[in-house]
Chains A and B, each alone.
Chain A
């Protein structure tokens, strides 16, 4: 029948960004599907997700739905970092027609206690480092502030500078002065809510003066 058109895609497959534990959906729009079939595969590890209306993978977070013969969706619930990657919608024309799009999975920042400092109590004049290690995706930015909003003293190129905040996962308290005693905040952000912070108490002890 010369009037039967081969299937084709309507528009691109859109990239999806989701947050860990939330859901993600790819939508593959097809016209003139006829007796042809749509299938989903994860491109990087070649794991078949679904063939037409049937889910193939035993990943119970994966499902497929369709609206008529036109809109085919791949759903991934409770997304995990391992779900990141390229997904393909294939139509079994000869040669096959295929669209690909990327699933990105964001993870909010988290401060790793075991790799971070604890409260410190040090003699005046000593030098101490405070560490604050954060994980997340994208890579979180870690910055330091004093809780009472006083300036921090930082050193670069042997110069002393007073700053409101310092970016980096290690804050060096060099030749600590009694005025630097107090509560320090480490704040980790990566654009994914919620931002997290950790408080560090710094006490400086010194000999009594008369």
Chain B
């Protein structure tokens, strides 16, 4: 099913641009791609340009990173970061390998639960 609106791959504009996760839990960064055809979907961490994954293949050697692809919606790619840390906060890029590339930026916010002693 090809939409007449765009040629080639594009991002579903409803994809959230900000994700907030609590430290210690999993962060799920979604990337919704339409009309991917034969192009690749990759993830890059913007802060240090670290390549995280290309398609299903994880490049970063950090066991907390996973790629989830929904069986029922192959256009939905999810980068899962387990046991998220404060230092994981920042911009992540979902990238389609067109020329020039297309990208969707997601800002990950990590909140640390505060414990206040009252009294």
Contacts and interface: CB of A to CB of B under 8 A. Distances in A.
Binding partners A and B: yes
B49 interface: yes
B93 A46 contact: yes
Interface residues of B, number: 23
A116 interface: no
Given A58-B39, A92-B60, A51 B51 contact: yes
Given A39-B59, A46-B93, A88 B101 contact: no
Given A46-B46, A58-B39, A94-B62, A39 B101 contact: no
A90 B60 CA distance: 10
A48 B97 contact: yes
B41 to A, nearest CB: 10
A132 B100 CA distance: 34
Contact of B51 (A41, A57, A59): A41
A56 B62 CA distance: 22
A90 B59 CA distance: 10
A43 B97 contact: no
Contacts of B49: 41, 43, 46, 88, 90, 98
Contacts of A88: 49
Contacts of A56: 40, 42, 54, 97
A148 B60 CA distance: 67
B72 interface: no
Given A57-B99, A57-B101, A96 B40 contact: no
A57 B62 CA distance: 24
A55 to B, nearest CB: 9
B103 A96 contact: no
A46 B97 CA distance: 11
Contacts of A37: 59
Interface string B37-76: 0011010101011110010010111100000000000000
Contacts of B60: 92, 94, 96
Interface of A: 36-37, 39, 41, 43, 45-48, 51, 56-60, 88, 90, 92-94, 96, 98
12 contacts: A41-B51, A45-B101, A46-B46, A48-B54, A48-B101, A51-B51, A56-B42, A57-B99, A58-B39, A88-B49, A90-B59, A93-B61
Interface of B: 39-40, 42, 44, 46, 48-51, 54, 57, 59-62, 93, 95, 97-101, 103
